[in-house]
Structure 1
Amino acid sequence: MRWGFAICLLLLGNLAWADTIVATRSIRPQQIITAEDVRVDPSDVQGAHAYLGEVIGQEARVAIYPGRAVMLGQVGRPALVERNQMVELVFAKGGLRIVAEGRALARGGVGERIRVMNIDSRTVLFGTISENGTVLVSR
């Protein structure tokens, strides 16, 4: 009898219970998610966020409906640069630093790569958004 109980505990111990973050109300795209917008649900949904800290303060990339799990690609850093916004483009390599005026061709947050257009040459480049809103470009 003891062996059966021990085996049952061993098997149950290997089961992993996970939490899932679920929307409590409709969340619009580009809305910053607050603690009132989400809750922890004791279920396991593959590809969904499991911790409140991963979601609160982030920006919704798509509409998220009440009762639905918040999936990994649905939230991201809040946008610092808006589409068509004028931005400072910075190219730095070694001791060389070139600064130009550009236009963002997409919106994005700190650390994200976006397409930008150099206003003078009309060349489209890729760049990474820095903390102060400048775009660090590379060729």
Structure 2
Amino acid sequence: MKLVLTFLMVLMAQSSWADTLVPVRTIRAKQIIYAEDLAYKSVEIAGAFSDPVDVVGQEARVSLYAGRPIRPGDIGPPAIVERNDLIMLRFRRGSLLILTEGRSLGRGSEGDIIRAMNLASRTTISGRISADGSIEVR
């Protein structure tokens, strides 16, 4: 009887916890997260990830420490433009399209707004990173 009661208490305790994803090793900022880097921990943390589909393939924005939950602000899409990369600057207004070469002054992923320098005029501009790695200037 005591064994059954202990088993029921353990079962009830486990049902109140949710599985949260945690890294199995320290993942440094700017590293891509792989499936083998993750494990489940039976603890309920508000806002922490529980589905590996949401995390695998993302880039760590900050250092992720083993055993600590991963929160949405800790990860993001991988950067496609690095600081000092040579990039194409694209300005479009109606049917007018101006293309020139530039240098990125920051790093980011698709949709991020970063600064860049027009190499021809040495002017610093801001623009949104496109999927192909070019910067759309407004």
* TM bracket (short chain): 0.7 to 0.9
**Could you tell me whether the CA contact under 8 Å between 2:47 and 2:72 is conserved in 1?**
yes
For the residue of structure 2 that corresponds to 1:73, the secondary structure is helix
Return the offset for 1:36. 0.8
Match of 2:22 in 1: 22
Question: TM (normalized to structure 2)?
Answer: 0.80
For 1:29 and 1:89, the matched residues in 2 are separated by 27
Return the offset for 1:122. 2.3
The code of the aligned residue for 2:135 comes to V
For 1:84 and 1:137, the matched residues in 2 are separated by 17
Match of 2:3 in 1: none
Counterparts of 1:1-139 in structure 2, within 5 Å, are 18-138=18-138
For the residue of structure 2 that corresponds to 1:53, the secondary structure is helix
Gaps of 5+ in 1: 1-15
Return the offset for 1:18. 4.6
Matched length: 123
Return the offset for 1:19. 3.9
**Could you tell me whether the CA contact under 8 Å between 2:32 and 2:58 is conserved in 1?**
yes
Match of 2:9 in 1: none
Question: TM (normalized to structure 1)?
Answer: 0.80
CA 1:41–1:118: 2 relative to 1, 3 Å: same
**Could you tell me whether the CA contact under 8 Å between 1:21 and 1:51 is conserved in 2?**
yes
Gaps of 5+ in 2: 1-15
Match of 2:10 in 1: none
Q: Which consecutive segments of 4 or more residues in structure 1 shift more than 6 A?
A: none
For the residue of structure 1 that corresponds to 2:36, the secondary structure is helix
**Could you tell me whether the CA contact under 8 Å between 1:40 and 1:52 is conserved in 2?**
no
Match of 1:7 in 2: none
Return the offset for 1:120. 2.0
Identity over aligned pairs, percent:
47
For the residue of structure 2 that corresponds to 1:114, the secondary structure is strand
